Each structure stands twice: as C-alpha cells, then as structure tokens.
Amino acid sequence: MTLTVPTPLADAATSDAALRRFLHGLPGVDQVGAEGRAANLATRSIKTTAKAYAIDLAIRMIDLTTLEGADTPGKVRSLCAKAVRPDPTDPSTPSVAAVCVYGDLVGLARDYLGDSGLHIAAVATAFPSGRASLEVKLADTRHAVAAGADEIDMVIDRGAFLSGRYLQVYEEIAAVKDACGEAHLKVILETGELATYDNVRRASWLAMMAGADFIKTSTGKIAPAATLPVTLVMLEAVRDWRDATGTLVGVKPAGGIRTTKDALRYLVLVNETVGIEWLTPDLFRIGASSLLNDLLLQRQKLASGHYSGADYVTVD
C-alpha cells in the first residue's frame, strides 16, 4: 500500500475508529448555507470574451463518455473521432480531455487515439455498483491499464462507507491506486447515495488520504448526479487538502451537466472556490456525453453571431 500523505493524516488511517474520529472531526457542512452559496455563484453573468474563453476551457475539460450496455466498437470509434475533432467545421475547436469507456473497449479506443495526447479513462472496480470482491476489482483495474487506459475511474463501496467501515473503503482505494501503476486514479464517491454534504466531505477526505488523484461526484447511473453544492463541498475539500499537504487533487463532476450555462456555472464555482490554479484539465474535468454539442452550438453562435441548430453538430 502506498501512503501519499504526511504522517499525521496517515496515522488517522489505522482503524475504523481512528478514521471515524478524524472524519467526524472535520467541520460540518450546513446544508442551507452550502446550497445558498452555490445558488449565489450561479447568478454570475459570463458574457462575450469571458464566455468564449470559458467555452473552450469547458471543451478541453470534458471526459467524453459512453457507458452503455449497448456500446459497440463503432460507437467507441465515432466517440474518439469526435473527441479529437469535436467540430469538423471549425479546426480551431480544441480537443476534449479524454474519452471514458468501459474496460473491455479501452483497447479499441487506444488503437484509434494512439498517442494523440488524449487520455483514455476506463471505469473499473465493478462500475457502477462496486459490488464485487476486491480481487475482481483489482483485476478489472489491471486489465484496463494493460489495455491502454491512463486514467481509472473507480467507485467506492458505498455500503461499507455508510455503515462506517471506513478502513475497508480506504484500503480498497489504496489497493486500486497501487494496481493503477502510472495511471491516474479518479475516485467516484457516488454522492447521490451518500445523502448528506457531511458525508460528501468525509468521503472526499477519505479518498484523498487513500491516494486519489481526482475525486468524482457520480457514476451518472444514480440520480441525483453532479450538483453545484456537492461540487462546492468537494472543491472546499481539495482546497483544504492542499493547505494541509501541499498536494493538488482534481475534481470531476459527472452526470446531469447538459448545457453550456451549466458548464459555465461549474467553472465559476471552481474559479471562486479554489482559484485559477484548478482551471485546467489536469485538475478539473466534466464528465458528460451530451454537453459537448451544446458547447459547440454556443461556440458557433459566438463566432457567427447566430444560432445554427442541432443538425450543424454531429450526433456522435
């Protein structure tokens, strides 16, 4: 197990009781206050040059995702093509950050993307439920990495977390991190199942203590998925983690972010909670499938002065 945290924090991870003492000792989150702050930031008005900047930034932060049982090699190939060149009519459009697929399709994506610079993220560890033995989860992870994934999106065991078996969650994340090798680890908290912001904050810290490179809100399979207040609480956690350890951990809201307006609100949240340091695809990602087309439509509108329409961007 690799410990990436300084000793005082690592000492907390010796037993369920020690972890409980630490995690429950974090300041609480007032629900009304957190939601009020997120709603207040959502009223920011992002126009003209700021909007153009933010749209390109949002495109560069997208993990373009397909996670369906019905995914096919053809679907993955067209996803990759779109990831590299999102708008065939405008070569100035930046590429997205990564494609995100199931483990068995990683090889295909790697064949297509090669060393284009785009990352390939694979969901692993019995995504989305996380209900499998540790051996299976680790094998799932190793397979995806071997097939060419350089980012692993794992899910935590919510059952263990909610019943207070924090050490089990911690050790599982640490073991997956170990299995990732060089690949970056994104830890999905599935905040829709954690129920309270206090739990979101605790799960964020637990994941970072165990070695997460990114903390991610949701699988996209559970409602509610990403929300602004949940993302705010996670951003506060990575900010405080930076203050405590000097290490920067990324944040990825995923699921339910469909419009440019939504995406801009997330960027404002990042800008005003953790600052510009996090406004890079290395530290902030947006997990989405349909968002990209709305960003492209808005981008075309800014460039041309008029709206085109759904037929002027590609369906996949």
Partner 1 sequence: MQPTPFEYAPAPESRAVVDIASSYGLYIDGAFVDGTGRRFKTVNPATEEVLAEVAEASGGDVDRAVKAARHAYNRVWSKTSGRDRGKYLFRIARILQERAREFAVLETLDNGKPIKESRDVDIPLAAAHFFYHAGWADKLSYAGFGSDPKPLGVAAQVIPWNFPLLMLAWKIAPALAAGNTVVLKPAETTPLTALLFAEVCEQADLPPGVVNIVTGAGATGQALVEHADVDKVAFTGSTEVGKAIARAVAGTRKRLTLELGGKAANVIFDDAPIDQAVEGIVRGIFFNQGHVCCAGSRLLVQETVADEVVERLKRRLTTLRLGDPMDKNTDIGAINSPEQLERIRTLTGIGEEEGATRWSAPCELPDRGYWFAPTLFTDVSQAHRIARDEIFGPVLSVLTFRTPDEAIAKANNTPYGLSAGVWTEKGSRILRMANAVRAGVVWANTFNHFDPASPFGGYKESGFGREGGRHGLAAYLDVA
Which residues lie near partner 1 (CB under 8 A)? 27-30, 32-34, 36-37, 43-51, 53-54, 57, 60, 236, 267, 271-272, 276-280
Choice among 153, 157, 198, 213 that is catalytic:
153
Nearer to partner 1, 112 or 241 (CB): 241
Judged by CB, which is closer to partner 1: 37, or 186?
37
User: Does 252 participate in catalysis according to the annotation?
Assistant: yes
C-alpha distance from residue 273 to each of 172, 200, 235, 290 (Å): 30, 16, 7, 26
Residue 50 vs 139, nearer CB to partner 1: 50
N-to-C CA span, the chain = 41
Q: Do the beta carbons of residue 133 and residue 75 sit within 8 Å?
A: no
In the complex, the smallest distance separating the C-beta of residue 311 from partner 1, rounded to whole angstroms, is: 30
177 in catalytic set: no
From the list 137, 177, 186, 252, the catalytic residue is: 252
Between 102 and 278, name the residue whose CB sits nearer to partner 1. 278
Give whichever of 42 and 126 is closer to partner 1, judged by the CB atom: 42
157 is catalytic: no
Nearest to 237 by CA among 202, 277, 195: 202
Q: What minimum distance in Å lies between the beta carbon of 200 and partner 1?
A: 12
Catalytic residue positions?
153, 216, 252
